[in-house]
């Protein structure tokens, strides 16, 4: 099916969608060797965001990231030095874009207004996108911090139509995360899942309108 969304704006998730965690994985291996530090850390990070939303016990995503690291290290029996801990945390602010992303955003930005919608705190978004060389492509950065809840809560997705002054169905939302795509579909955004691994989609039965293997497919006309 040719990729031809009838939309007026495109919104992107950040982590794993625009930027890769490869450099963070390397830092984790430097500290933890073969222990699954990054996988456990990321899972704990998301778990805490889900639980804090359900319990109404909000802290920002940077605080969650710090707490998740400390808990994960304790569970794995790791004792990073203060310098190693700081290096691991700083790595979240210094993630590189996937290879196709800069050129794709440059092309898309000539046709649609672009935005980022992320669980990341405002500082994480501004710093991370600036260091990745991507900040200039986006009209607006939308953080879950402004509603003090996390994806897939509908209040987070509602930030996009409010900021862009568009109905949800006129916005295409792109994410590599199944839970995020499911939340966006449920809210009513046109949704594109970026499936770089080719694994079966896990979207709770809520199928995205589009599936691509690379964000470059948005320019090349594939889905």
- pLDDT tens string 56-101: 999 999 999 999 999 999 999 999 999 999 999 999 999 999 999 9
**Which numeric CATH code is attached to 9-20+96-220?**
3.40.50.1000
**What is the SS3 assignment for 200?**
coil
d(CA 122, CA 111): 26
Q: What is the DSSP string of 139-189?
A: SEEEEGGGTT--TTSHHHHTHHHHHHTS-GGGEEEEES-HHHHHHHHHHT-
pLDDT digits (tens, 9 = 90+) for 182-221: 999 999 999 999 999 888 877 677 889 999 999 999 887 6
Q: Token pair for residue 58? A: 């909000």
What's the pLDDT score for residue 30? 96
d(CA 111, CA 95): 26
What's the pLDDT score for residue 2? 45
| CATH entry, 22-91, from 1.10.150.240, 1.10.10.10, 3.20.20.140, 1.10.4080.10 | 1.10.150.240
pLDDT, average across residues 162-187:
96
For 158, residues 6+ apart whose C-beta sits below 8 A from its C-beta are 147, 187
Residue 223: is its pLDDT beyond 80?
A: no
Mean pLDDT over the full length of the chain:
94
pLDDT, average across residues 159-171:
98
Residue/partner pairs of 56-65 with CB below 8 Å, 24 or more apart:
58/148, 58/149, 60/121, 60/145, 61/119, 61/120, 61/121, 61/124, 61/143, 61/144, 61/145, 61/150, 62/121, 62/123, 62/124, 65/89, 65/92
pLDDT band at 161 (very low <50, low <70, confident <90, very high): very high
Closest by Cα among 90, 41, 98 to 64? 41
For 86, residues 6+ apart whose C-beta sits below 8 A from its C-beta are none
Q: Give burial (CB, 10 Å; 0-12/13-18/19+) of 182.
A: buried
Q: Strands 171-175 and 114-118: what pairing?
A: unpaired
Q: Is the fold of 9-20+96-220 the same as that of 22-91?
A: no
Residue 1: is its pLDDT beyond 50?
A: no
For 39, residues 6+ apart whose C-beta sits below 8 A from its C-beta are none
- The answer to whether the beta carbons of residues 22 and 132 sit under 8 Å apart is no
- The answer to whether the beta carbons of residues 210 and 5 sit under 8 Å apart is yes
Angle between helices 61-76 and 122-131 (to 10 degrees): 80
Ordered by start, the domain boundaries in the chain are: 9-20+96-220, 22-91
Closest by Cα among 2, 7, 15 to 188? 7
Residue 19: is its pLDDT beyond 50?
A: yes
What's the pLDDT score for residue 54? 97
- Give strand pairing partners of 140: 115
Q: Token pair for residue 152? A: 């897939």
């Amino acid at each position: 099916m040719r990729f031809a969304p009838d939309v007026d704006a495109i919104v992107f998730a950040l982590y794993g969608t625009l930027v890769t965690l490869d450099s963070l994985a390397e830092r984790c291996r430097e500290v933890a060797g073969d222990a699954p530090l990054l996988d456990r850390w990321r899972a704990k990070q998301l778990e805490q965001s889900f639980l804090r939303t359900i319990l109404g016990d909000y802290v920002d995503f940077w605080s969650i990231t710090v707490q998740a690291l400390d808990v994960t290290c304790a569970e794995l029996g790791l004792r990073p030095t203060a310098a190693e801990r700081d290096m691991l945390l700083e790595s979240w602010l210094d993630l590189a874009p996937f290879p196709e992303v800069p050129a794709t955003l440059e092309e898309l930005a000539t046709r649609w207004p672009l935005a980022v919608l992320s669980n990341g705190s405002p500082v994480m978004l501004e710093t991370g996108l600036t260091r990745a060389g991507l900040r200039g492509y986006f009209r607006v950065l939308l953080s879950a911090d402004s509603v003090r809840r996390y994806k897939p809560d509908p209040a987070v997705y509602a930030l996009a139509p409010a900021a862009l002054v568009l109905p949800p169905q006129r916005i295409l939302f792109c994410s590599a995360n199944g839970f995020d795509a499911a939340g966006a579909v449920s809210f009513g955004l046109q949704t594109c899942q970026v499936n770089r691994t080719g694994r079966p989609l896990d979207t709770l039965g809520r199928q995205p309108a589009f599936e691509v293997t690379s964000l470059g497919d948005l320019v090349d006309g594939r889905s």
